[in-house]
């Protein structure tokens, strides 16, 4: 008798499991039950439909040859029985059957193996007037079509997005591109708060604000104003922001109701708990995609990381294990990347918050540079932040913001961190070098070298956000070692005691610095290479209390001033 596999959910995990299963086994019976009208659609591209980069919604649910990925396609091409409009209402684990409703009729289906790919649902704000017209989530195809319709049919001039995560920021770009007045309200104190440490997010803020997107950070949405049932504004704890269209993008929660009702174990994140083979607490039931819990590869914490890319990987592993393999899914790094206007931001592994939560003793460094040889046409700024464990030098995580090359460095670190790399490993990777692609010492190797220096305490860097916190009250002499011309053009604002002494003069003239006995010296330059050289020279000359400002002017996210203003 052939094995019967029932899959609940026909989007990423579900259809990937089904397709792989069929390729491996022409005999197994595969039935997919999807409650919605669409199968195997690509939700990650939705913001680009709103922004106009993707001209037709059909790109998301048709093959590249224009064939709809519907039930007929899956039957004829993939040999899969995929049924839309089938809402599963119960799982009977003892009898190994599911109950579902199709066109109002309750039906039952036995299974040998069950796969849960039930996905996730956007979180709603339990606030006054939250169900007014013009307020939307942005997750399912019908959300996107509703937003698109609003834009076409109503006179929308002001959009407010609540939540500055991936979807919020991608949508901010999309609405901005359409010429709408676009605002983002975020409860936390930064954009992309899951992904970026404060000083990295702060650096990204500048170009976003400069482009004209309003950011209201550390600001809590408390309600909405409406007229005749249609939203007119977003109320925060600080202001009312006019809006004819509001997107609530404050996150999603895993769809676990079915699993919970069936007595399957949930994990600490509220997702369905799975073992490394992606089996639930019932060995005959697998779970994958947004509804399933992931394990972080650094530190081992359980995490909720809903990503289409992860869902696809889950599908493959589940299919292989159904076929009798024992493939382990090794977990995630909570990798993320986001294009915002001309800027890019990405991260993988742990950041300051998650590294501390995981109990690591670590140091970090912020290192700016260019994404290729600086004199090459098209060279773009790129700031890398690297975290490593003290003692072992194990790389814990990386963040990058810049105008180019962010994704390359993140992916390189994904491979490195997944395989347990140390800073010394990073330092010696034989990275592809040619002037259009990189400098002779890659940004990652540079960051690793600087962080090695910091762990060895031959570099004493101060993080920009830490310096900003003490900038106006601590006692220190700030020595900017750039050229006179660079110094005149821009420098950090509001420093009481600042001296400009170009690096070339430091060796000969450092004794002339107006530093008091025991006073701290903070050196700085454009990217903190010269600042670091100055720090080392000064220490060599007998100055005891010297450090330098990590990332220099290039990574400085806060106020600056210039002679010409």
By CB under 8 A, tell whether 24 contacts its own copies: yes
Kindly tell me which residue out of 308, 404, 489, 499 binds its own copies, with binding defined by CB under 8 A: 308
Measured over the CA atoms of residue 277, residue 279, residue 285 and residue 286, the dihedral's sign is negative
Counts of helices then strands in the chain (DSSP H, E):
17, 32
- Distance separating alpha carbons of residues 245 and 143, to the nearest angstrom: 13
Touching its own copies, residues 170-229 (CB under 8 A): 170
- Please indicate whether residue 525 is annotated as part of the active site: no
Smallest gap from Cβ 474 to its own copies, in A, equals: 26
**Which 314-333 positions form the footprint of its own copies (CB under 8 A)?**
316-317, 327, 329-333
Residue with tokens 């579902």: 100
Rounded-to-integer distance, Cα 411 and Cα 429, Å: 14
Residue 291 binds to its own copies (criterion: CB under 8 A): no
**Residue 149 is a binding residue for its own copies (CB under 8 A):** no
What does the DSSP assignment read for 130-154?
TTSBTEE--SSHHHHHHHHHHHHHS
Query: For its own copies, which is the closer residue by CB, 87 or 418?
Result: 418
Q: Does 491 engage in binding with its own copies (CB under 8 A)? A: no
Q: Tokens 């490195």 identify what position?
A: 416
Residue 157, CA atoms < 13 Å, CB-side half-sphere: 3
Q: Which stretch binds its own copies (CB under 8 A): 243-251, 265-273, 335-343, 350-358?
A: 335-343
Structure letter (DSSP) for residue 550? T
Contact map string, positions 105 to 144, toward its own copies, x by CB under 8 A: ----------------------------------------
At closest approach, how far in Å is the CB of 91 from its own copies?
27
Query: What are the distances in angstroms from CA 245 to CA 227, 228, 340, 529?
Result: 13, 14, 20, 47
Residue 50 CB, nearest approach to its own copies (Å): 12
Residues 26-85 within binding reach of its own copies (CB under 8 A) = 26, 42, 44-45, 48, 53-54, 59, 64-65, 67, 73, 76-79
- Identify which of residues 244 and 381 has a Cβ nearer to its own copies in the complex: 381
Please report, as residue ranges, which positions from 416 to 475 form the binding site for its own copies (by CB under 8 A).
416, 418-421, 424-425, 427-438, 440-442, 445, 449, 458
What residues between 218 and 277 interact with its own copies by CB under 8 A? Answer: none
Contact map string, positions 470 to 489, toward its own copies, x by CB under 8 A: ------------xx--x---
> Based on CB atoms, which residue is closest to its own copies, 233 or 393?
393
Reading the block at residue 412, the tokens are 């390189």
Give CA separation, 284 vs 197, 281, 459, in Å: 41, 9, 55
Task: Identify residues 356-395 at the interface with its own copies (CB under 8 A).
Answer: 373-377
Most distant CA pair in the chain, distance = 90
User: Is residue 95 involved in binding its own copies (CB under 8 A)?
Assistant: no
Which residues make Cβ contacts (< 8 Å) with residue 397, sequence separation at least 6?
298, 333, 347, 348, 349, 350, 351, 354, 355, 386, 387, 413, 417
CB of 171 to its own copies, least distance (A): 13
Which one, of 446, 473, 476, 456, lies nearest residue 547 by Cα? 476
Determine which residue in the list 307, 401, 423, 546 makes contact with its own copies, applying CB under 8 A. Answer: 307
User: Catalytic residues, which ones?
Assistant: 44
């Amino acid at each position: 008798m052939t094995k019967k596999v029932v899959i609940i959910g026909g989007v990423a995990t579900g259809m990937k499991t089904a397709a792989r299963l069929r390729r491996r086994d022409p005999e197994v019976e595969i039935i997919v039950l999807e409650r919605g009208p669409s199968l195997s659609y690509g939700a990650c591209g939705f913001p680009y439909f709103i922004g106009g980069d993707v001209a037709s919604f059909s790109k998301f649910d048709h093959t590249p040859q224009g064939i709809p990925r519907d039930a007929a396609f899956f039957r004829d091409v993939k040999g899969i029985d995929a049924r839309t409009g089938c809402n599963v209402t119960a799982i009977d684990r003892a009898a190994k059957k599911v109950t579902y409703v199709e066109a109002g009729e309750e039906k039952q289906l036995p299974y040998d193996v069950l796969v849960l790919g039930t996905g996730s649902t956007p979180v709603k704000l339990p606030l006054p007037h939250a169900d007014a017209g013009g307020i939307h989530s942005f997750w399912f195809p019908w959300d996107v079509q509703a937003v698109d319709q609003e834009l076409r049919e109503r006179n929308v001039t002001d959009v407010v997005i609540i939540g500055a995560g991936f979807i919020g920021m991608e949508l901010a770009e999309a609405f901005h591109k359409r010429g709408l007045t676009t605002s983002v309200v975020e409860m936390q104190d930064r954009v992309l708060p899951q992904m970026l440490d404060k000083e990295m997010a702060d650096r990204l803020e500048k170009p976003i604000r400069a482009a004209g997107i309003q950011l209201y950070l550390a600001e809590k949405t408390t309600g909405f104003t409406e007229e005749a049932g249609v939203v007119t504004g977003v109320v925060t704890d600080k202001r009312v922001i006019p809006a004819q269209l509001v997107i609530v993008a404050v996150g999603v929660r895993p769809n676990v109701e079915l699993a919970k009702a069936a007595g399957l174990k949930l994990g600490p994140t509220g997702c369905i708990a799975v073992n490394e083979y992606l089996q639930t607490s019932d060995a005959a039931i697998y779970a994958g995609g947004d509804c399933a819990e992931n394990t972080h590869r650094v530190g081992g914490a359980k995490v909720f990381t809903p990503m289409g890319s992860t869902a696809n990987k889950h599908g493959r592993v589940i299919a292989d294990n159904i076929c009798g393999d024992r493939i382990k899914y090794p977990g995630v790094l909570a990798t993320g990347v986001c294009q915002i206007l001309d800027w890019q931001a990405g991260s993988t592994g742990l950041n300051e918050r998650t590294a501390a939560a995981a109990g690591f003793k670590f140091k970090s460094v912020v290192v700016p540079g260019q994404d290729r040889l600086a004199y090459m046409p098209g060279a773009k700024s790129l700031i890398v932040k690297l975290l490593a464990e003290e003692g072992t030098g194990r790389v814990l995580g990386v963040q990058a913001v810049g105008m180019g090359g962010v994704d390359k460095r993140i992916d390189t670190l994904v491979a490195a961190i997944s395989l347990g790399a140390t800073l010394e490993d990073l330092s010696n990777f034989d990275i592809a070098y040619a002037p259009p692609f990189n400098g002779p010492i890659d940004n990652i190797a540079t960051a690793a070298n600087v962080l090695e220096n910091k762990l060895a305490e031959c570099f004493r860097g101060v993080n920009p956000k830490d310096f900003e916190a003490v900038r106006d009250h601590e006692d220190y002499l700030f020595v900017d070692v750039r050229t006179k011309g660079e110094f005149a053009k821009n420098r950090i604002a509001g420093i009481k005691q600042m001296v400009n002494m170009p690096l070339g003069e430091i060796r000969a003239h450092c004794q002339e610095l107006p530093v008091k006995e025991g006073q701290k010296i903070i050196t700085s330059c454009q990217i903190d290479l010269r600042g670091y050289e100055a720090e080392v020279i000064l220490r060599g000359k007998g100055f005891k209390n010297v450090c330098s400002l990590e990332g220099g002017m290039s990574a400085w996210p806060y106020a600056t001033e210039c002679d010409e203003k």
